[in-house]
């Protein structure tokens, strides 16, 4: 086979043959056919194994019948080491049945010694077919490699550990050594992972061949991933460069996502810290303001001066406003406590029905201002160990929601006990909640209605769920849009030790 430029095609041929004359005859046929063969000759199984392991051969030409090694045994050895290597049997005595058996065992062709003229054509065809097989396997192997790499990259948001595992996957698939470097804040590259096929592997700069691929995401270069090899059988042609680029793209996306997650976590921590500080700073003057308002109301009541009634009404409205502001500040404080794990429960024995009656009495006037009535439809005694202030907070949050969204319709509060659990149920007949919002409303700062129409911070149900969960309880909601909502809280009678 004459390649472009008029030169012969170089190939590496391993002859399994015990007669030198036959080897020379076959070499001459290959040279006349346009090949420039570099070759080696073996005639025992041990020699065959050693030569096959030493390098990759383009072709194995094997005598079918030798005293020390049969063609079928040689085929088995060769295929065990390189399943894609073309294997051609040459024989002067092979029968048709034996040839069929050999082909079934994996031989690619057989040539009779009295018809060696067709050897060059057979070699050319088998080299072409072998390349197709190798290309197919390379694509399949690359797909498996990328799938495994993607799974590894998705396992963790600790990108340095993940990149170290990816580098380990890349060796020896893409080289003898793989290094990953990420850009620091000042733009310099810092090595975060290195994997080599053996402890004595030469550094990347000393490898015979190497490539460097940028890690790019959202138009920014985050670092580089590099591969190097001294293996003669591995070249960085277009398929290998495409595979390296695909791996780099996936790795860069994982690094970028991990950094975005870390930044988001930092932003959340800073927000929670700000909420905690701001809430504490607001709570102190609010408490003082509420005390001053109460003192002013007491002074007006004692003075009995004309117009005191109007002043008392104004003070009452001001007190309601400060109470509302105090509630919002306390909600922000609770969010901060929950986020930092500082919400403590002080468990004590009390009757849940008594606490529910007390909260309902406190909120009846608020319900009446919206046109709603608030009634306890069922009240069973349910004595248990809970944090009274926190459970009262749950009742206030659920009833306040029912009043806000109840549309001026009746609100029902039920308390019951079944076996070792107590249950609170708040039912309203207002605007209801769409199915897509039923779980979302328990998130921080989440709401199912526009803020401009109803106000609030979107924290009440989140705090409620966290308090109930801290008591080893559950809160659930069912609703039909336009027909109201039912919130159900289930609490164990004794949630365990104080925490």
Whether residue 402 is found in the same domain as residue 435: yes
Supply the CATH number for residue 316's domain. Answer: 1.10.287.130
Q: Within a 10 A sphere around the Cβ of 354, how many other Cβ atoms?
A: 14
Whether residue 178 is found in the same domain as residue 286: no
Task: Give the SS3 label for residue 58.
Answer: coil
Whether residue 302 is found in the same domain as residue 364: no
Task: Give the SS3 label for residue 386.
Answer: strand
Task: Give the SS3 label for residue 326.
Answer: helix
Q: Which of 103, 101, 76 is nearest to 88 (CA)?
A: 103
Each residue's pLDDT tens digit, 135-184: 888 888 889 999 999 998 888 888 888 899 889 989 988 888 999 999 98
Is residue 401 situated within a structural domain? Answer: yes
Q: What is the predicted pLDDT for the residue at 97? A: 77
Q: Is the distance from CB of 225 to CB of 213 less than 8 angstroms?
A: yes
Q: Is the distance from CB of 320 to CB of 447 less than 8 angstroms?
A: no
Is residue 499 situated within a structural domain? Answer: no
Is residue 4 situated within a structural domain? Answer: no
Whether residue 300 is found in the same domain as residue 424: no
Is residue 222 situated within a structural domain? Answer: yes
Strand extents, DSSP E, 9-75: 9-16, 35-42, 59-63
**Structural domain tally of the chain?**
4
Is residue 129 situated within a structural domain? Answer: yes
Each residue's pLDDT tens digit, 341-373: 667 888 999 999 999 999 999 899 889 999 999
Q: What is the predicted pLDDT for the residue at 3? A: 47
Whether residue 391 is found in the same domain as residue 461: yes
Q: What is the predicted pLDDT for the residue at 2? A: 46
Whether residue 480 is found in the same domain as residue 362: yes
DSSP states along 235-278: ---HHHHHHHHHHHHHHHHHHHHHHHHHHHHHHHHHHHHHHHHH
Whether residue 355 is found in the same domain as residue 467: yes
Distance CA 147, CA 140 (A): 11
To the nearest 10 degrees (0 to 180), the angle between helices 159-173 and 119-154 is 170
Last residue of a domain, one of 94, 119, 134: 134
Is residue 189 situated within a structural domain? Answer: yes
Cβ burial of 197 (10 Å; 0-12, 13-18, 19+) is middle
Whether residue 148 is found in the same domain as residue 242: yes
**Could you give the residue ranges of the DSSP H alpha helices within 106-237?**
119-154, 159-173
Q: Which of 318, 289, 395, 316 is nearest to 352 (CA)?
A: 395
Q: What is the predicted pLDDT for the residue at 377? A: 83
Contacts of 498 (CB under 8 A, 6+ apart): 345, 346, 347
* Tokens 């860069």, located at residue: 252
Last residue of a domain, one of 83, 102, 134: 134
Mean pLDDT by 10 residues, the chain (499 residues): 64 95 94 94 95 92 90 93 91 76 85 90 92 87 90 87 89 90 89 86 70 92 91 80 94 91 78 62 63 73 64 72 65 65 82 93 90 89 91 91 91 92 95 85 71 60 89 93 93 73
Whether residue 188 is found in the same domain as residue 285: no
* Tokens 């396997």, located at residue: 137
Is residue 497 situated within a structural domain? Answer: no
* Tokens 């439809």, located at residue: 377
Q: Which of 239, 44, 28 is nearest to 143 (CA)?
A: 239
Q: What is the predicted pLDDT for the residue at 4? A: 45
Supply the CATH number for residue 254's domain. Answer: 3.30.450.40
Whether residue 284 is found in the same domain as residue 301: yes
Last residue of a domain, one of 233, 261, 289: 261
Is residue 130 situated within a structural domain? Answer: yes
Whether residue 194 is found in the same domain as residue 109: no
* DSSP conformational letter for 8: B
Phi-psi region of 79 (alpha: psi -120 to 50; beta: other; left: phi over 0): alpha
Supply the CATH number for residue 460's domain. Answer: 3.30.565.10
Domain extent, residue 311, equals 264-339
CB burial of 382-392 (b: ≥16 within 10 Å; e: otherwise) equals bebbbbbebbb
Q: Classify strands 9-16 and 59-63 as parallel, antiparallel or unpaired.
A: parallel
Whether residue 143 is found in the same domain as residue 121: no
Distance CA 334, CA 345 (A): 12
Q: Which pair of structure tokens corresponds to residue 80?
A: 């065990």
Supply the CATH number for residue 72's domain. Answer: 3.40.50.2300
Q: Which of 168, 161, 160, 248 is nearest to 212 (CA)?
A: 248
């Amino acid at each position: 086979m004459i390649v472009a430029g008029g030169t012969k095609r170089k190939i590496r041929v391993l002859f399994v043959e015990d007669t030198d004359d036959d080897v020379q005859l076959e070499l001459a046929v290959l040279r006349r056919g346009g090949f420039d063969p570099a070759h080696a000759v073996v005639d025992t199984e041990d020699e065959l194994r050693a030569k096959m392991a030493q390098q990759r051969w383009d072709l194995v030409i094997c005598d079918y019948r030798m005293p020390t090694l049969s063609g079928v045994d040689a085929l088995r050895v060769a295929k065990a080491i390189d399943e894609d290597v073309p294997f051609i049997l040459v024989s002067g005595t092979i029968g048709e049945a034996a040839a069929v058996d050999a082909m079934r065992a994996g031989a690619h062709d057989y040539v009779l010694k009295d018809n060696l003229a067709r050897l060059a054509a057979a070699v050319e065809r088998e080299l072409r077919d072998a390349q197709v097989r190798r290309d197919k396997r390379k694509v399949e192997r690359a797909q498996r490699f990328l799938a495994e790499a993607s799974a590894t990259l998705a396992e963790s948001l600790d990108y340095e550990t993940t990149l170290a595992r990816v580098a380990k996957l890349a060796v020896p698939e893409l080289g003898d050594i793989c290094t990953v470097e990420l850009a620091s804040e000042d733009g310099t590259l810092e090595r975060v992972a290195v994997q080599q096929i053996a402890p004595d592997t030469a550094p990347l700069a000393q490898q015979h061949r190497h490539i460097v691929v940028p890690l790019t995401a959202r138009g920014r270069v985050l670092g580089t991933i590099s591969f190097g090899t001294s293996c003669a059988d591995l070249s960085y042609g277009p398929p290998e460069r495409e595979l390296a680029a695909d791996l780099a793209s996936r790795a860069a996306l994982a690094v970028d996502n991990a950094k975005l997650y870390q930044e988001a976590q930092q932003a959340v921590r800073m927000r929670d810290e700000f909420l905690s500080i701001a809430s504490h700073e607001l709570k102190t003057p609010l408490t003082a303001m509420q005390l001053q308002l109460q003192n002013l109301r007491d002074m007006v009541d004692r003075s009995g001066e004309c117009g005191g009634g109007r002043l008392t009404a104004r003070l009452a409205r001001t007190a309601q406003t400060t109470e509302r502001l105090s509630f919002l500040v306390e909600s922000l404080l609770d969010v901060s406590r929950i986020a930092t794990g500082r919400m403590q429960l002080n468990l004590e024995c009390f009757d849940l029905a008594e606490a529910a009656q007390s909260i309902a009495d406190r909120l009846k006037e608020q319900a009446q201002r919206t046109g709603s009535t608030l009634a306890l439809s069922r009240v069973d005694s349910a004595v248990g160990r809970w944090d009274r202030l926190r459970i009262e907070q749950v009742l206030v949050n659920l009833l306040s929601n029912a009043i806000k969204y109840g549309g001026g319709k009746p609100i029902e509060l039920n308390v019951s006990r079944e076996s070792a659990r107590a249950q609170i149920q708040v039912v309203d007949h207002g605007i209801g909640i769409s199915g897509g919002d039923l779980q979302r409303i328990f998130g921080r700062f989440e709401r199912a209605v526009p803020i401009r129409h109803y106000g609030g911070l979107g924290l009440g149900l989140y705090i409620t769920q966290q308090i109930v969960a801290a008591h080893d309880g559950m809160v659930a909601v069912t609703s039909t849009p336009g027909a109201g909502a039912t919130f159900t809280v289930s609490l164990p009678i004794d949630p365990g030790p104080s925490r």
